[in-house]
A and B are shown apart, each in its own frame.
Chain A
Amino acid sequence: MEQTKIIDLKNISKSFDGEPVLKNINLYIRDKEFVTLLGPSGCGKTTTLRIIGGFEQPDEGDVFFLDERINDVPPYKRNVNTVFQRYALFPHLNVYENVAFGLRVAKVPNNVISKKVKETLALVNLKGFEKRAVSTLSGGQQQRVAIARALVNNPKVLLLDEPLAALDLKLRKDMQNELKALHERTGITFIYVTHDQEEALSMSDTIVVMADGRIQQIGTPTDIYNEPKNAFVADFIGESNILDGVMIDDFRAKFAGVEFKCLDSGFEKNEPVDVVVRPEDVDIVPADKGMLRGTVTGVTFKGVHWEIIVDIKGFKWMIQTTDYCAPDSVIGLYIEPDAIHVMKKSEYSGMFGDYSSYSEEFDELSVADPEEEEKNTEAEDE
C-alpha cells in the first residue's frame, strides 16, 4: 500500500447546538485505501464523512487533502464524490443523465460523456438502463446508479455514507462484494461509513471504530477483532465475554476467580484490567476437567453452531460450539492462552460483555435503524 496521506484530519472538533459530536479527531487516510468508519448511531462517523466532503465545517482543527488545507474549499471544488445515504438521485433525470450530471457540469464534450457513462454503467452492471427513470428502479439498482454517478467523475476519494443500509440482507452481501471489487478495479480511495460491524470486517483495509465522538481504535479488521483496545471495541465488533480481571504479572491474568496463562504483557503488577474471551475460542470439556465450571442456562441453535449461555459464578458467558449442551447441565470450560486478550481499563469498563440480560430481541433493538440514523443526522444538520 502506498503511504501518501490523501486525507488528513487534525484535531477536528465539532458541535451541533452546543452538543459535541466530534471530540478532537485525528485521522489520516492513505491513498487507494478502503477505510471504514464504524460505530453506533450518533458516534460522529457521518459527521466526519461530511467534513471530508465539505458539507460541514469543523469548529476546530484542519482538514488536509494531499497536504493542502481544504477547510474553506466548498464541496463542488473538492476532488471527492459522495454516495449518499438513500442515494439522492435526481428524480427529474433518467439514469443516463443522473450519471452524466457531474460531467455535464464540468462541460465535458458530449462524446466523452457518452463513452464514460456507458463504461461506468457497465462497471456497476447496469448496461441497458440508460433511458430508465430512476423512480422505476429497485433499491439495489438505484444504489448502483448512485455509485456510478459518483465514480464517473473519477474522484480521488469516494465517500460512501451507509450506502447499503436500505437493502435487504442478500442484496447487501452481493453489493459488499461488488463494492470491494470496484475498489480494487478503480484504485480510488474509499471512505465508507457503516454501523454494521460485519460489513466493516469483510470489506475494509482499515477500520476506524468510533464512539461518543472519539476514535476508539484504528486498525486492520484482524487487529480490531483480535486485539480490541477497550471494552467498547470488543463488544461492538463481534460477540465477546468481557470480564473484570487483574494482571498478576506478565503472561499471568486472573479472572473469574482463576489464574490463566496468557500472551499479554506490559501491564503493571496487579493492574486491574478487562479481559476479553471470544465465544468461539472457548472449548467445552467435561465439568471435572474444566478450568472453569458452570451451568448452562440457555441454548440457541444458530445453524452453523449452538450459542449457549453459561452461568459461572453469576457471570453469564456466551459460548459458540458445535456440540450440543443440554440446558441445566454442568460443563467445564477450557481456555487456551491465545484465546485470552487483556485490555487496559477504560470508561467503557463494566458496561459490556455480560450476557445476563441477553436476548435476541434485545440484540435486534441495538442495531441502529437506518431511518433512525437519518433522523439523527438531520437533527445534527439543524
Chain B
Amino acid sequence: MNKKSFLDSFSLVPHAVWSVLFIVAPLIFVVYFAFTDRNGNFTFSNIGALSDYAHIFGLSVAFALIATVICLLIGYPLAFFISRLKPSKQKILILILMLPMWISLLIRTYSLMALLDNGGLLNTLFEAIGIGPVKIVGTAGAVILGMVYDFLPYMVLPIYTSMSKLDIRYFEAAEDLGCNGFKTMTKVVFPLTVPGIISGITMVFVPSISTFYISQKLGGGSFDLIGDTIERHFQNQSTYNVGAAISLVMMILILISVAVMNKFADDNKGGQLIV
C-alpha cells in the first residue's frame, strides 16, 4: 500500500550517520564531562565553579552584542542599498562582499592584526603624519573591530536576501497610501525584513560570543572571553571537565537567545527565516 521509494527511505541516512558521529556523540561527551570529575564520578562541582567565570561571560556577551549592533547598523543600510540596484550590479557587490569569506578566518584576523599592530601599516601612516603610534591591538575596540570585520557578511547576506525578495509593489503600495521614503522603510520594509534581521543577528552573535582567535590576536591577551577560556581548559587534561561545563552553559545561553529571537520572527509573519 504505502510503499516508500528508495529515496524516501534512505535519503536521510548519510546525514543521520554524520549527525550521530559528529553532533550527538560530542554533545553527550560534553554533558558527561560537565557532570563528572577527573575520575569519572558524578559531580556538580564543575557547574558550581562557573561563578568564577561570570565576568568572562559578561564581557563576552557585551563584546558580541556591541559587534552585532555595529554589524546591523552597517549591514542593514548596505543590504538595502544593494537590493535596490540593478540585478547585474547586485551580483557584483554581493561577490565583493563575500570575497573575504573565501579566505580563512584565521588568515583574515591575522592580516587585520598586521595592519593595526604597532609596526603595522596604519601606525606607520599615523607616525608619518605625526599622530604617533596609537595603541590599537590590545584594546577592546580592536577585538570588536575584528568581530565586525570577520562577521559583517553574515549580517548583510540574510538581510539582503529578504530585501531582494520584496515585491517592488509593496514599495509602490506604501507610497500610494501616503508613505514618504522614511515611512515606507519603517512601516513596510523593516517589518517585512525582520526574519532576515533575526537571521543576521544570530549568525553574527553566535560566532562572536564563542570566538577565541579574534580576542587572542587582536586583544593582545588582555581580554579573556568565553572562547579563550574554553580553549585554555581543553588544552589541559586536568581542567577538561570545567571546560565542558562552560561549553554546556554557553550552548544553553545561545539556544535561549536564538529561541527568543525566533519568537520575534514568528510574531512578524513577514517571511521565511534563513538560518
Partner-B contacts on A (CB < 8 A):
53-55, 74-76, 80-82, 84-86, 88-92, 101-102, 104-106, 133, 135, 149-150, 153, 378, 381-382
Contacts and interface: CB of A to CB of B under 8 A. Distances in A.
B269 interface: yes
B169 A84 contact: yes
B173 A82 contact: yes
Interface string B175-189: 111111001000110
Main SS of the interface on chain B?
helix
A105 B176 CA distance: 11
Main SS of the interface on chain A?
mixed
A89 to B, nearest CB: 8
Nearest to B188: A90
B269 A92 contact: yes
Contact of B269 (A55, A85, A88, A133): A133
Contacts of A53: 176
Contacts, number: 69
A84 B172 contact: yes
B172 A75 contact: yes
B269 A91 contact: yes
Interface of B: 86, 167-170, 172-180, 183, 187-188, 191-192, 268-271
Nearest to A134: B269
A75 B175 contact: yes
Contact of B270 (A82, A91, A101, A150): A91
14 contacts: A54-B175, A75-B175, A84-B172, A90-B174, A90-B188, A91-B270, A92-B270, A101-B187, A105-B183, A133-B269, A135-B269, A153-B178, A378-B168, A381-B168
B175 A92 contact: no
A149 B188 CA distance: 15
Given A91-B271, A92-B269, A92-B270, A74 B167 contact: no
A178 B123 CA distance: 74
A86 B170 contact: no
A290 B76 CA distance: 77
A101 B167 contact: no
A92 B173 contact: no
Nearest to B171: A88
B175 A76 contact: yes
Contacts of A80: 176
Contacts of A92: 191-192, 268-270
Contacts of A150: 176-177
B172 A88 contact: yes
A287 B173 CA distance: 61
A102 B271 CA distance: 23
B176 A81 contact: yes
Nearest to A133: B269
Contacts of A101: 174, 177, 187
Nearest to A88: B169
A55 B178 contact: no
Contacts of B172: 55, 75, 82, 84, 88
Which of A75, A80, A89, A133 counts the most chain B CB atoms within 10 A? A75
Given A91-B269, A92-B268, 13 more contacts: A55-B172, A76-B177, A76-B179, A81-B176, A81-B177, A84-B176, A88-B172, A88-B173, A91-B270, A105-B183, A149-B177, A150-B176, A382-B86
Contacts of B180: 74, 76
Contacts of B174: 90, 101
A149 B176 CA distance: 10
Which of B86, B172, B180, B187 counts the most chain A CB atoms within 10 A? B172
B269 A102 contact: no
Nearest to B269: A92
B269 to A, nearest CB: 6
Contacts of B269: 91-92, 133, 135
B184 to A, nearest CB: 8
A105 B177 contact: yes
A368 B22 CA distance: 56
A155 B270 CA distance: 28
B177 A102 contact: yes
B119 to A, nearest CB: 51
Contacts of B169: 84-86, 88
B153 to A, nearest CB: 26
A88 B167 contact: yes
A80 B169 CA distance: 16
Contacts of B176: 53, 75-76, 80-82, 84, 150
Which of A84, A92, A133 counts the most chain B CB atoms within 10 A? A92
B264 to A, nearest CB: 13
A92 B265 CA distance: 11
Contact of A102 (B178, B188, B191, B270): B178
A381 B86 CA distance: 11
B177 A153 contact: yes
B43 to A, nearest CB: 50
A198 to B, nearest CB: 26
A84 B167 CA distance: 12
9 A-B pairs with least C-beta separation: A88-B169, A102-B177, A105-B178, A88-B173, A75-B175, A92-B191, A92-B270, A82-B176, A76-B175
A80 B268 CA distance: 30
Contacts of B188: 90
A91 B192 contact: yes
A192 B188 CA distance: 26
Contacts of B86: 382
Nearest to A146: B173
